Structure 1
Amino acid sequence: MINLSIRKKNELTKKKKKGFTLIELIIVIAIIAILAAIAIPRFGAIRESGNVKSDIATAKNIQTAVSTAISNGDITLDSSGDNSSFSLATIMDGNIPKAKAQGFAGQSFTATVDNNQVIVKIGSTEILPVPASSTYSSVLS
């Protein structure tokens, strides 16, 4: 009888020991918080880099579309190779893309032709061809 009650007591103590202690859970949560604090700023920088590269690709696509429109005769140039009166919306099928990069977000792309060269801008900042003072020049080089 005593042997039976000791056995039941041992079984009850074994059942209580299952699971993690509060200290173990707090340590795991602290480690996860530290890893998250390290990863979140890096994610923001990676996202901004992606936005910059996306804007550069969009500018190149606009430059190609305008060059194609010139070669197809949809845009005519004057004797000096200039034209700033064409509609970018017409060339881009009514969809003028917006910039995503920080400092330019939400601004529309514009394009002009000067001296037979297609110039793509976001707001007043020239993106293509890449000027030395551009905020995108470090990404393109």
Structure 2
Amino acid sequence: MVKNLKKKKGFTLIELIIVIAILGIIATIAIPKLTNQKKAAQISADKANAKIIADAAQMAIVNGTISPTSTEQITEVKKKVSGPATAATLGELVAAELNAIPKTKLNNGNGSFYIGISSNKIAVYTAETNGIEIYPNGGGDYAN
């Protein structure tokens, strides 16, 4: 009597351990690269928003809303606070030229942009740059 031997199908324990080890190696390599890409994307978004803010400031100068002074004034770009009639800050005048006020992507989207305008320069900063302009010079240590 001949028994029909059934061929067992499936993976051995060794094969499964090898596959898991390979996946672990791939994850070890890929995860740090993905986090660096996320930070690079956030920095690029902040630089693009800084350019938009600088363009809005240029429009305000052309429209006569802002007159640059010889010394640089730095203020936060924000909406004018409703309340008693007070002179709008430079940041509030620039914000009036924008449809929406962007927040920095670093710092979980909670940071603010600051603008500095003088007679020969428009510069945009964030709190994350520690006083280094991100527009027009590109951020210096901001990318590190």
Answer yes or no: same fold by TM over 0.5.
yes
Q: Which one has the bigger helix percentage? A: 1
Runs of 4+ in 1 over 6 A off after TM superposition: none
Structure 2 gaps of 5+ residues are: 75-88
Q: Deviations over 1:90-135 (max 9, x none)?
A: 2223x32221236x9632001131124212111252222328x832
Alpha-carbon distance between aligned partners in 2 of 1:81 and 1:72, rounded to the nearest angstrom: 21
Query: Is this contact kept in 2: 1:83–1:113, CA < 8 A?
Result: yes
Q: Which residue, 30, 39, 46 being the options, matches 1:39?
A: 30
Alignment of 1:36-75 (within 5 A): 36-73=27-64, 75=65
Which digits, 9 at most, give the CA deviation of each residue in 1:40-90, with x for residues without a partner?
0111111111111111111111111111222123x2315648666331332
* CA distance 1:43–1:79, shift in 2 (3 Å): closer
Q: 2:66 aligns with which of 47, 68, 76?
A: 76
Q: Pick from 122, 125, 128 the counterpart of residue 126 of structure 2.
A: 122
* Aligned with 2:104 (options 96, 99, 102): 99
Distance 1:82 1:54 in 2: 25
Q: 5+ unaligned residues in a row in structure 1: which ranges? A: none
Q: Which residue of 2 aligns with 1:89?
A: 95
Larger RCO (alpha carbons 8 Å, 6+ apart): 2
Q: Select the structure of larger CA radius of gyration.
A: 1
**Gap change, CA 1:22 and 1:117, over 3 Å in 2:** same
Q: Deviation at 1:9?
A: 2.9
Displacement of 1:38 in angstroms is 0.7
Aligned equivalents of 1:81 and 1:41: distance in 2?
43
When residues 55 and 79 of structure 1 are mapped into structure 2, their CA distance, relative to the original with a 3 A threshold, is closer
AA at the equivalent of 1:100:
K
CA RMSD after TM alignment: 2.8
